[in-house]
Amino acid sequence: MARVLAETHPDAHCELNHGNPLELAVATILSAQCTDQRVNEVTPRLFARYPAAADYAGADRAEMEELIRPTGFFRNKTDSLIKLGQALTERYDGQVPGRLENLVTLPGIGRKTANVILGNAFGVPGITVDTHFSRLVQRWRWTGETDPVKIEFAVGALIEKRDWTMLSHRVIFHGRRVCHARKPACGACTLASMCPAYGTGPTEPAAAAKLLRGPRPGELAAAAGIDPALAPSPAVAARAETPSAEVATP
């Protein structure tokens, strides 16, 4: 199934725009209960205003709150960002550490966020257990665990460590674009023949194809062996893509 996911989602990647570990840490904190698209709309001004950890540490709270207001929970997130800047400045010379045990001690950064940072900013393999990932690996019966840390270890035992980061992206892409929470596109899924939950959503190709989301619905349909013309247009599918607001707190 992991191999098929790699073929199905060759475009899988971290969808939070960033240029360095600090920017990714900030963007990931902002992504809690917010779509990646909305975060990416906010971060250019934020990154320009606060290019270093010391800038976050000394930020004017009201100014920062106004900048990140569109991401929701802006007061709590401002508190986390200021405290993150202070902790990095005081303990790590303003640099984001590249070790899990250090990252999880920082304000606003839990294990899930730490794995995002490690995998995408430092090249250290990590499994990101957001609600998409959790839902799909349980649906596929890769594990019966429900605790995110236990899910991480259970799936990590099944997949080679070097593939952990990309597997996370591919599963999350599949959850957003094909295997939706309430109505998965079973009849237009490349994993249909292997999935123990096949039939949870519509299995008739035409009905299933209409549920495909993201920028390449026709390609997803073709990969599943059905007529690409049955899928919605890329513009329609992209607008309807399952948002990352389904993500749990960092």
* Greatest extent of the chain over all pairs of C-alpha atoms, in Å: 58
Would you tell me how many other CB atoms lie within 10 Å of the CB of residue 19?
11
- As annotated, the active-site residues are 112, 130
Q: How far is CA 42 from the centre of its chain?
A: 17
Residue 80 tokens, joined: 């986390």
Torsion sign across C-alpha atoms 86, 91, 93, 94: negative
Instruction: Write 179-186 long-range contacts (CB < 8 A, 24+).
Output: 179/135, 179/136, 179/139, 180/211, 180/213, 180/242, 181/135, 181/242, 181/246, 183/211, 184/139, 184/211, 185/209, 185/211, 185/212
Q: How far is CA 243 from the centre of its chain?
A: 10
